[in-house]
Amino acid sequence: MTLTDQQREEIRAAANTVRQDSVRMTNAATCGHPGGPMGMADFMSTLFLAHLNLDADNRHDPERDRFILGNGHTCAGLYSLLAQKGLFSRESLLEFRKFGSPLQGHPHRNLDLGIDMSTGSLGNGLSVGVGMALAAKQNGWGTRVYVASSDGESQEGQIWEAATAAAHYGLANLTVMVDFNNIQIDGVMREVMDVLDLREKYAAFGWHAVDVDGHDVDAIDAALCSAKEETTRPSAIICHTTIGKGVSFMEDKAAWHGVAPNDEQAREALAELGA
């Protein structure tokens, strides 16, 4: 299966909206993490539009697909995609991180909104994905479980406990998408604590593992399709991305991991993004 021209355009448009929303939401909140979701926008949009079986009508179907945002601090992008898919209003996006909003600073499980798991503490998400995939397999459901993770998160030991277990249990219904941007909050990942070659690591742990250009939606789609072909192994898609993608002054800068753009920066960023 390859993407149709229309699908490709829809995914690219959705990704651009994710980038704009990440700027708008963190600007409105005056805090948050804009850079990560902008870098993840292409692979997240490919997943949410072309693969993840979750929409406004099936949100309470126990057999639908599941998504866990292991790197929960990038949730502006998740919220943008859930709103784009009609799980809640786009107006509510600007309530992100504010008192009383269900769009918490890090995701809190809320099935009405399509948020499958509470995350925020790095390293915890993949283990939960293993449990979800085990349950789906045990129940004989066609449910696929997707977990987003990151290069920085791969410094957590629990990731490798989960990777060991997922291969041991033969969870072909589990896919992890790793945002590999070489940036973490304290600086360049290779300098802070180099996780080396994550494709090789996942492969050594018994996974089907591939590297992709995390901004090439066709390559991402092909990798997600190849994951579905697996029958005994979980799949890892290492998505090589640029943090802050799409805005010249934000790209590849650790400073944009966890700082919100001010009003002027937001205006400039949105102009670059064609808003």
The correct pick among 8, 12, 85, 108 for binding another protein (CB under 8 A) is: 108
CA pair distance 65, 246, nearest whole angstrom = 29
CA pair distance 269, 256, nearest whole angstrom = 12
> Does 113 contact another protein by CB under 8 A?
no
> Does 118 contact another protein by CB under 8 A?
yes
Closer CB to another protein, 173 or 241, in the complex = 173
Closer CB to another protein, 159 or 250, in the complex = 159
Residue spans of beta strands (DSSP E) within 99-181: 145-150, 174-180
> Does 136 contact another protein by CB under 8 A?
yes
> Does 109 contact another protein by CB under 8 A?
yes
DSSP 47: H
Tokens of 11: 């995914």
Tokens of 241: 């991305």
Look at the alpha carbons of 19, 202, 7, 137 in this order and tell me if their dihedral is positive or negative: negative
Give 30's Cβ-side CA count (13 Å radius): 1
Closer CB to another protein, 120 or 206, in the complex = 120
Tell me the closest approach of the beta carbon of residue 190 to another protein, in angstroms. Answer: 26
Site pattern 39..78 for another protein (x: CB under 8 A): -----------------------x---x------------
Q: Let me know if 268 is exposed, middle or buried by CB neighbors in 10 A (0-12, 13-18, 19+).
A: middle
> Does 165 contact another protein by CB under 8 A?
yes
> Does 126 contact another protein by CB under 8 A?
yes
Binding site for another protein (CB under 8 A): 62, 66, 108-109, 116-121, 123-136, 138-139, 157-158, 161-162, 164-165, 168-169
